[in-house]
Amino acid sequence: MATLLMMSRPTRLSDLPTGAVATVASMPAGQVALTRLREMGVVPGTRVQLVRRAPLGDPIEISLRGSLLSLRASEAELIEVTLI
Amino acid sequence: MPAAADTPLVYALVGNPNCGKSTLFNALTGLRQKVGNYPGVTVEKKVGECFSQHGRRMTLIDLPGSYSLNARSPDESVMRDVLLGRAPGTPRPDRVVCVVDASNLERHLYLVTQIMELGLPVVVALNMVDVAVSRQIRLDVARLSERLGVPVVPTQASIKKGLIELKLAMSRDDLAAPPGLPDLLPVPVRGGLLRSRETLAEAGLVRSDAPLLEPLYLLSSHDPTHYGIADQALARLTAVREQLEREVPGWEDRLVAARYDAIAALCAEVVRRPDEARLSFTDRLDAILLHRVWGWGALLLVLAVIFTLIFKVAEAPMGWIEAALNGGELFGRPIGGLAGWVEGLMPDGDLRSLIIDGAIAGVAGVLVFLPQILILFFFIGLLEDTGYMARLAFMMDRLMGKVGLNGRSFLPILSSYACAVPGVMAARTIDSPKDRLITIMVAPLASCSARLPVYALLIPLLFPPELMPSWGKALILLGLYALGTLGAFFFAWLFNRTLMKGVPTPLILELPSYKAPALAGVVRQMADRAWMFVRRAGTVILGLSILLWAALTYPKSDDPDPARQVEHSLAGRLGHAFEPLVRPMGGDWRVAIGLIGAQGAREVFNSQLGVIYAVEGAEEDESPLRDRLRREKHPDGRPVYSVPFCLGLLVYFVFAMQCLSTVAIVRRETGGWKWPLFQFAYMTGTGYLLAVLIYQIGIRLSA
């Protein structure tokens, strides 16, 4: 596990390039905004793909567990992911 | 818990948004359903009835689509409260049907696992199996049923497939509450929850056998209103949560993760996805509809179609309604309408006037909105049902987010350029209570079509009669629209910074797969909402219209001159009384009367001035009235309708709340008089201050 983390670069979900696939590494606790995201399936270990950014640059669209979700960069930047 | 044979089993129908739940509800109950409202909130309450194969009666409550019992919106609070038996006026259901999207099982099972812990028998309807098949997703239904410990029935509600099997499962006598997933709670948390349930039960706040998580669901931190929970209970519940958080930090986040772990393990057993993911229909359509260039083109096209229909197509039926009631022209022939019929039937007098100018005009004032409301709600239903509405919000969110709103506020505000009444009603599609309220507060600032006749009357007065460049008029009209729009954005920003400060509203939006709309369902919802408008807002509009009529009619004068009668009436006296208020913006008591009349509906301003200045037919052609207004002088000889006054008056009409129907619908949608009164105060106050400012500066500059 430790070697895995060192090999891949942790980055923020909001910074992923379009089309990139990553795993959720960590999410800060106690954020109301993130509780609902967790309930919609974004929990540490989940595989997510950044599908696209909205035409005006924000929000972003991600694909996970077979469905499509949209969230703002202000929330996405709280989520650390590891590129696969 | 088998119920007696003659009392119907009460079923709750629950599921995530976009799982086809409403289609299933319609397919099960057909026409045997009633639509109402939950008390105190604007959430539709739909109750229907269906019969099992053996003729057993079952009552179905269609609960609003929700992602979690941890409620975050009024919709979700209602689902939670009904399932926990805490909704006033709604019995606790005996059993639950959980509707899940078969092609999206993992995400939809989250709510199912929460529901399975409530101690109620559960049946799972595995809906939209056709979509799963088309995506080559294979499901082991028997295994799923065995692992969950509840009956699982594959259905395809859109073509009524699987309904008999579903009803068979629902009418089973031997249905027991499922065991739920193996315990997901860390041991200390479980102990803590048990202890807190005991304390709360002693205080009589929950049942002693209540679901373990019930206290926490009630305290959902996403629900600032804590709907249905008394203050003293709230303090106790908060203490419980804080203590648990101290003992096991982050336990709620861990619970969510544990749930998804268990669901993922279950899905690994029952779901087989194709090895290589193919580009779905939704992916391909999104590549166009959310494209940087084509996306905007598609959006403009959709909006252009909707608004052309609202403005143009609604015009004709609105004219028919007007003509049929108040009289006018119908298909090129002048008719007297209902008013004309009554006029011929009754002798002249107060009663006839009450019926014609009060009641019939009031009814017309209600019904005239129906064409626009029907068209708008038909398209909103269509956009929601196909999945495009979420995309619209996705595209517009950045823009609306700049003033603290979200993408879903866009359509209600845009609709308000036609008419604020359907616009305010359309705000129901916004799930965040804060964003919804701000949207309702600012939507009437969009210059609606009722302002146009007033703009048309006043704008030419800004130019000398011999010089009326049409480009100049167009430019000013555009400026007024821009002013209203800027005003809406400014106040949204202001309210977000002040009134609603500190309420976080992240936009977390599911982009559902595109699908063909269920037209019958869309039409039914459109009709339900239109009926709701007529019944609820209609009665208020009618009552206020009659009050306004009385103010213009009483006390009577003996003078046959209608202008004199108006001056003599309560409204006329009010006009004199309000003259000191109107004078700083450059008007006299006649203008005050016009503004009092326009308080009911803006376009009444023209006909009101027509009566006061005794100009016939001011409703059809405003130019004789305008010529009369140009000649109107103050006692000291200055013209009343000077440029500074007219400009100020125009700005007053941009901002002021002068529409009974909007006031009525805002009261209806916000559940009380507080917000409509606030809205009236801030809009009219802003309009007045700006009008005074413009006039005072204007006369000093021109002096």
CA A59 to chain B, closest CA, distance in angstroms equals 7
pLDDT at A4 over 60: no
Q: Which residues of A touch B248 (CB under 8 A)?
A: none
Confidence of residue B195 (pLDDT cuts 50, 70, 90): confident
Q: Which residues of B touch A59 (CB under 8 A)?
A: 394, 397-398, 507, 509
Domain of A9: which CATH number? 2.30.30.90
pTM: 0.84
Chain-chain contact of A70 with B508 (C-beta, under 8 angstroms): yes
Q: Which residues of A touch B251 (CB under 8 A)?
A: none
Contact between B395 and B299 under an 8 Å Cβ cutoff? The reply is: yes
Does A65 contact chain B (CB < 8 Å)? yes
CA A70 to chain B, closest CA, distance in angstroms equals 5
Does B510 contact chain A (CB < 8 Å)? yes
Does B262 contact chain A (CB < 8 Å)? no
Contact between A22 and A48 under an 8 Å Cβ cutoff? The reply is: yes
Chain-chain contact of A66 with B107 (C-beta, under 8 angstroms): yes
Q: Which has more pLDDT, B231 or A58?
A: A58
Cis peptide before B555 (omega within 30 of 0): yes
A45 phi and psi, to 5 degrees?
100, -15
Chain-chain contact of B394 with A54 (C-beta, under 8 angstroms): yes
pLDDT at A5: 47
* Domain total in chain A: 1
Residue B503, class by beta-carbon neighbours within 10 Å (0-12 exposed, 13-18 middle, 19+ buried)?
A: middle
CA A16 to chain B, closest CA, distance in angstroms equals 18
Cα B146 to the center of its chain, rounded Å: 42
CA B318 to chain A, closest CA, distance in angstroms equals 38
The mean pLDDT of B211-227, rounded to a whole number, is 66
Calpha distance B529→B44 (Å, rounded): 9
Give the chain B residue nearest A54 (alpha carbons).
B395
Which domain, by its residues, includes A72?
Answer: 2-83
The mean pLDDT of B7-35, rounded to a whole number, is 90
Confidence of residue B96 (pLDDT cuts 50, 70, 90): very high
pLDDT at B1: 44
CA A23 to chain B, closest CA, distance in angstroms equals 14
Q: What is the largest CA-CA distance in chain A?
A: 38
Does B282 contact chain A (CB < 8 Å)? yes
**Chain B interface, mutation test: which of A13, A26, A35, most B Cβ atoms within 10 Å?**
A35
CA B429 to chain A, closest CA, distance in angstroms equals 17
Chain-chain contact of B398 with A65 (C-beta, under 8 angstroms): no
Parse chain B into domains and list their residue ranges. Answer: 9-170, 187-247
Chain-chain contact of A67 with B282 (C-beta, under 8 angstroms): no
pLDDT at B690: 97
Question: Tens digit of pLDDT for each residue in B150-161?
Answer: 999 999 998 999
The mean pLDDT of B469-485, rounded to a whole number, is 87
Q: What is the largest CA-CA distance in chain B?
A: 92
In eight-state DSSP terms, residue B280 is P
CA B247 to chain A, closest CA, distance in angstroms equals 15
pLDDT at B2: 47
How many contacts (CB atoms, under 8 Å) link A and B?
119
Chain-chain contact of B511 with A59 (C-beta, under 8 angstroms): no
Question: Tens digit of pLDDT for each residue in B65-92?
Answer: 999 998 887 788 889 989 998 888 888 9
Chain-chain contact of A61 with B511 (C-beta, under 8 angstroms): yes
Chain-chain contact of A32 with B507 (C-beta, under 8 angstroms): no
The answer to whether ipTM exceeds 0.85 is yes
Q: Which residues of A touch B286 (CB under 8 A)?
A: 51-52
Chain-chain contact of B508 with A30 (C-beta, under 8 angstroms): no
**Chain B interface, mutation test: which of A39, A46, A49, most B Cβ atoms within 10 Å?**
A39
Q: What percent of chain A has pLDDT over 70?
A: 89
Question: Tens digit of pLDDT for each residue in B107-136?
Answer: 999 999 999 999 999 999 999 999 899 888
- B51, amino acid identity: F
Calpha distance B467→B180 (Å, rounded): 80
Calpha distance B384→B456 (Å, rounded): 36
pLDDT at B267 over 50: yes
CA B308 to chain A, closest CA, distance in angstroms equals 25
User: B475-491: b or e for each residue (b if 16 or more CB lie within 10 Å)?
Assistant: ebbeebbebbbebbbeb
Q: What percent of chain B has pLDDT over 90?
A: 37
Calpha distance B82→B68 (Å, rounded): 14
Chain-chain contact of A55 with B292 (C-beta, under 8 angstroms): yes
Q: Which has more pLDDT, B319 or B107?
A: B107
Contact between B377 and B493 under an 8 Å Cβ cutoff? The reply is: no
pLDDT at B503: 64
If you write DSSP's letter for every residue of B198-209 in order, what string do you get? HHHHHTTSS-TT
Chain-chain contact of B394 with A58 (C-beta, under 8 angstroms): no
Q: The tokens of B409 are what? A: 């506020």
pLDDT at B337: 85
pLDDT at B431 over 90: no
Write down the mean pLDDT value for chain A: 87
Q: Which has more pLDDT, B214 or B440?
A: B440
pLDDT at B565: 77
Segment of A70-79, B269-278, B590-599, B622-631 carrying the highest mean pLDDT: A70-79
Confidence of residue B180 (pLDDT cuts 50, 70, 90): confident
pLDDT at B310 over 80: no
Confidence of residue B582 (pLDDT cuts 50, 70, 90): very high
B93 phi and psi, to 5 degrees?
-65, 150
Does A58 contact chain B (CB < 8 Å)? yes
Confidence of residue B580 (pLDDT cuts 50, 70, 90): very high
Confidence of residue B231 (pLDDT cuts 50, 70, 90): low
Which H or E run contains B191?
A: helix B187-202
Question: Tens digit of pLDDT for each residue in B330-349?
Answer: 887 888 888 888 888 888 88
Does A47 contact chain B (CB < 8 Å)? no
Contact between B458 and B649 under an 8 Å Cβ cutoff? The reply is: yes
Does B395 contact chain A (CB < 8 Å)? yes
How far the first Cα of chain A sits from its last, in Å, is 14
CA B491 to chain A, closest CA, distance in angstroms equals 23
Give the chain B residue nearest A42 (alpha carbons).
B257
Confidence of residue B502 (pLDDT cuts 50, 70, 90): low
Confidence of residue B227 (pLDDT cuts 50, 70, 90): very low
pLDDT at B472 over 60: yes
pLDDT at A3: 45
CA B260 to chain A, closest CA, distance in angstroms equals 7
Contact between A43 and B256 under an 8 Å Cβ cutoff? The reply is: yes
Question: Tens digit of pLDDT for each residue in B613-667?
Answer: 766 555 556 677 888 899 888 888 889 999 999 999 999 999 999 988 899 889 9
Residue B202, class by beta-carbon neighbours within 10 Å (0-12 exposed, 13-18 middle, 19+ buried)?
A: exposed
Q: What percent of chain B has pLDDT over 70?
A: 94
Of the candidates B107, B252, B394, which has its C-beta nearest A41's C-beta? Answer: B107
Q: The tokens of B474 are what? A: 């167009």
Q: The domain B9-170: what is its CATH number?
A: 3.40.50.300
If you write DSSP's letter for every residue of A5-59 in order, what string do you get? HHHSPEEEGGGPPTT-EEEEEE--TT-HHHHHHHHTT--TT-EEEEEEE-TTS-S
pLDDT at B177: 87
pLDDT at B233: 67
In eight-state DSSP terms, residue B329 is E
Of the candidates B68, B70, B106, which has its C-beta nearest A66's C-beta? Answer: B106
The mean pLDDT of B499-506, rounded to a whole number, is 71
pLDDT at B223 over 70: no
Write down the mean pLDDT value for chain B: 86
pLDDT at B3: 46
Chain-chain contact of A36 with B291 (C-beta, under 8 angstroms): no
pLDDT at B222 over 60: no
pLDDT at B295 over 50: yes
Question: Tens digit of pLDDT for each residue in B237-247?
Answer: 778 778 888 88
Chain-chain contact of B107 with A75 (C-beta, under 8 angstroms): no
Does B502 contact chain A (CB < 8 Å)? no
Among B27-36, B213-222, B256-265, which is the least confidently predicted range? B213-222
